[in-house]
Amino acid sequence: MVTIKDSVHDHIAIEGIAADLLDTPAVQRLRRLRQLGTVGLVYPSANHTRFEHSLGVYHLARAALDRLGIAGRRRKRLEAAAILHDVGHTPFSHNIESVVARRTGRMHDEVDDLLGEGEIARILALHDVDPAAVTDLIAGDGEFGQLVSGELDVDRMDYLVRDAHHTGVPYGTIDTGRLVRELRFVDGELVLAEGNVQTAESLLVARSLMNPVVYNHHVARISKAMLRRGTEKLLAAGEVTAEELRRMDDADLLVCLRSTAETAETARRLDTRSLFKRAVWAELRDVPAAVVDADHGTVREYEREIATRAELDPDTVVLDVPPRPRMEESTSRVVVNGEVRSLQSQSTLVSALRRANEEQWRLGVYAPEGAADRVGRATEEVLGLDLDALVVDVRRGINATLDDF
């Protein structure tokens, strides 16, 4: 058994299959992947890694398995899935996942190739655990996959409290002990036991509050958009393949960006925090549905047209269109008066938080500081935006000092 001191859960005891997997290259690589990618450019202490998060997920998974009385081979599979659930992440975590996925066809939770060969496959075989079963659990498939990837999963429980701890933002604080203690399986569904509507609401509230101040902070959004653009150019230059990039760590990617002529300027801007500025920061109600739902190719066409009208290099205009707001936690299941019900049918908070999420949604257009004003005007023409006075003021640079936060 190995005992590790953790900043969130105190001491974490690791044994069995998880202890054997701990020192594999794929798991140790997670030490070199920042959990929050470029959020460290906003919150300097947000330097925690996918490795410590994986330890936390394993810790909470073990507590849940104890509580649910799950043992034997099924337990070993779930413990392996908990410690391995993030091995498919690209450098900078989710920041460039979509770029790599468009070329490899794999998102971070599609890891059958990583678990089916090499040291991980050898250790799973030693413990008589089928790699395909672990892969399915990581993807959230089946009844017990809900523990690893679902509305009430231990992954979500750990990253909320861990991200809040390391950013210093208190909004992600939740009672993980109670959440784990009240988990139940009812007719194949993972639910919270009777009397836990507010417990389920706490997950929803925590995520809703963390979104605007951490995950979707405008500086984090701008920097991750620039990183995505740089990664696309790196792949287009042929310096690395998408498969090679998928297995890099954060430092590997930065070195490649710095040493490639086509991406050196992007690397310099990220290294020195000389980020693009907001030319447009538009609310959902002001953006045509065709723009909100545009695919990657259409977004790039919009960027090129905006750049042409603004008389700029297309690489210096970034259109950042986030997915439509969604609240996965609202479908969490809770037991009320002996019946399993969805949280959204029981909680008056859900509709209010859903409305808040829609109001917090922003389309961003970013450009070098001196070009932000004309890029904003070009964007209005190309996208047909109806921007209110506040957004126009932001576009014209009133937010410049805020970009230092």
Using one digit for the tens of pLDDT, what is the confidence trace for 143-181?
999 999 999 999 999 999 999 999 999 998 899 999 999
**Is the model's pLDDT at 401 over the cut of 50?**
no
Q: How confident is the model at residue 106 (pLDDT cuts 50, 70, 90)?
A: very high
- Identify whether residues 145 and 8 lie together within a single domain: yes
Question: Per-residue pLDDT tens for 28-55?
Answer: 999 999 999 999 999 999 999 999 999 9
Angle at Cα 324 formed by Cα 53 and Cα 354, nearest 5°? 80
Residue 35: which of 85, 110, 78, 103 has the closest Cα? 85
Residue with tokens 């951490």, as numbered in its chain = 214
Laid out side by side, the sheet with 183-186 consists of 183-186, 189-192, 333-336, 339-342
Interval 256-293: pLDDT, tens = 999 999 999 999 999 999 999 999 999 999 999 999 99
Please give the pLDDT value at position 388.
52
Which stretch of DSSP H or E encloses residue 391? helix 389-395
Please count the other Cβ atoms lying within 10 Å of the Cβ belonging to residue 383. Answer: 24
How would you label 297-326 residue by residue, b for 16+ Cβ within 10 Å and e otherwise? Answer: eeeeebbebbbebbebeebbbbbbbeeebe
Give the pLDDT of residue 405. 46
Confirm if 94 and 38 have CB atoms less than 8 A apart: no
Q: Is residue 179 part of a domain?
A: no
Under 8 Å between Cβ of 350 and 344: yes
State the Cα–Cα distance between residues 250 and 92, nearest whole angstrom: 6
Burial 254-272 (b: 16+ CB within 10 A, else e): bebbeebeebeebbebbee
**pLDDT reported for residue 247:** 96
- Give the CATH number for residue 118: 1.10.3210.10
- The number of angstroms, rounded, from the C-alpha of 340 to the middle of its chain's C-alpha atoms is 29
Q: Is residue 385 assigned to a domain?
A: yes
Q: What is the 3-state secondary structure (H, E, C) of 170-208?
A: HHHCCCHHHHHHCEEEECCEEEECCCCHHHHHHHHHHHH
The answer on pLDDT for 343 being more than 90 is yes
Q: CA 39 to CA 56: how far, in whole Å? A: 20
Mean pLDDT of 374-392: 79
Q: What predicted TM-score, i.e. pTM, was given to this entire model?
A: 0.93
Structural domain includes residue 89: yes
Residues 34 and 150 both lie in one domain: yes
Which of 39, 104, 54 is CA-nearest to residue 246? 104
Same domain, yes or no, for 135 and 281? Answer: no
Res. 183 pLDDT band, cuts 50 70 90: very high
d(CA 135, CA 113): 9
Residue 202 lies in a domain: no
Which range marks the domain in which residue 380 is found? 276-324+361-405
Query: Which of residues 138, 168, 198 is at a domain's end?
Result: 168
Segment 332-345 mean pLDDT: 94
Write down the mean pLDDT value for the chain: 93
Do residues 19 and 1 make contact, with C-beta atoms less than 8 angstroms apart?
yes
Domain boundary among 168, 203, 227: 168
Confidence check: pLDDT of 392 > 60:
no
Share of the chain above pLDDT 90, in %: 91
pLDDT value of residue 239: 87
- Residue 395 clears pLDDT 70, i.e. is over it: no
In tens, the pLDDT along 196-213 reads: 999 999 999 999 999 999
The total domain count for the chain is 2
- The residue-averaged pLDDT of 191-198 equals 95
Average pLDDT over residues 221-247: 96
* CA distance linking residue 256 with residue 232, whole number of Å: 12
